[in-house]
């Protein structure tokens, strides 16, 4: 085994974020409930604190080291990780959207531990998001860090702001994709990726 290289250490996603203030968040949650006419005494006494901690958890990715290895054996086929569960918060309503990600890359000189693909999704999902940007950020980041021949990302998600309220389109899912390199430019490689991702066109 050739020496690994740690190209970057997370938490990247926290670099530009202030540390959460749970005391202030709890007070704000209590004020929100009061403004909505919800009595937070009795059984709801601890609800503002729980709301603050739950949102803080949803907005904080776990840290990890992004370790790459030289592609010494010259593997030149798609590496694809399917069914990666993720949850995020839509930036318009701060309601969850949840789904599965499929992340693939066509290796260049570097390869990546498989679990890291899931960690990259989490890193960008744990912030107020829109699905389109989340998909693109995962693809862009892998493209920049791994310098692969190609990258493909597909996200399929259900948005509670759309299924529980508003349009109330229960069961509707949103599919987004982002591609780089060979997967963007070569239609056969793109087709192979979408087929393996379970998306048929
Ligand atoms: Zn929304």
Q: Which residue has the tokens 């709801």?
A: 44
- 6 confidence band (pLDDT: 50, 70, 90): low
Is the domain defined by 65-196 classed in CATH 3.30.590.20?
Answer: no
Q: Any alpha helices (H) in the chain, and if so which ranges?
A: 22-35, 47-58, 115-125, 131-146, 160-163, 182-185, 187-196
- What are the structural domain ranges in the chain? 22-58, 65-196
Q: Which of 81, 102, 126, 131 is catalytic?
A: 131
CA of 99 to the centre of ligand 1 (A): 15
Q: Which of 57, 91, 132, 185 is catalytic?
A: 91
For the segment 173-178, the average pLDDT, to the nearest whole number, is 96
How many angstroms separate the Cα of 3 from the Cα of each of 59, 63, 171?
34, 22, 47
Cα maximum dimension of the chain: 64
Task: Mark whether 126 is an active-site residue.
Answer: no
**The pLDDT value given to residue 200:** 66
pTM, entire model: 0.90
pLDDT in tens, 10-68: 445 455 678 899 999 999 999 999 999 999 899 999 999 999 999 999 999 988 888 89
pLDDT in tens, 93-109: 999 999 999 999 999 99
Task: Mark whether 143 is an active-site residue.
Answer: no
Task: Mark whether 91 is an active-site residue.
Answer: yes
Task: Mark whether 161 is an active-site residue.
Answer: yes
Task: Mark whether 90 is an active-site residue.
Answer: yes
CA of 128 to the centre of ligand 1 (A): 10
């Amino acid at each position: 085994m050739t020496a690994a290289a740690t190209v970057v250490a997370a938490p990247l996603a926290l670099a530009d974020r202030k540390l959460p203030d749970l005391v202030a968040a709890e007070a704000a949650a209590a004020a929100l409930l009061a403004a909505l006419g919800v009595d937070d005494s009795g059984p709801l006494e601890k609800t503002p604190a729980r709301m603050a901690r739950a949102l803080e958890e949803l907005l904080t990715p776990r840290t990890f080291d992004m370790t790459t290895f030289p592609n010494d054996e010259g593997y030149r086929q798609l590496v694809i990780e399917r069914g990666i569960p993720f949850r995020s918060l839509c930036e318009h309503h701060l309601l969850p959207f949840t789904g599965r990600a499929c992340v693939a890359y066509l290796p260049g000189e570097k390869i990546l531990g498989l679990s890291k693909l899931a960690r990259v999704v989490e890193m960008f999902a744990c912030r107020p998001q829109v699905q389109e940007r989340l998909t693109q950020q995962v693809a862009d980041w892998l493209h920049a860090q791994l310098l692969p021949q190609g990258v493909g990302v597909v996200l399929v998600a259900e948005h509670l702001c759309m299924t529980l309220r508003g349009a109330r389109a229960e069961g509707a899912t949103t599919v987004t994709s982002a591609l780089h390199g060979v997967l963007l430019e070569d239609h056969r490689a793109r087709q192979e990726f979408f087929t393996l991702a379970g998306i048929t066109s």
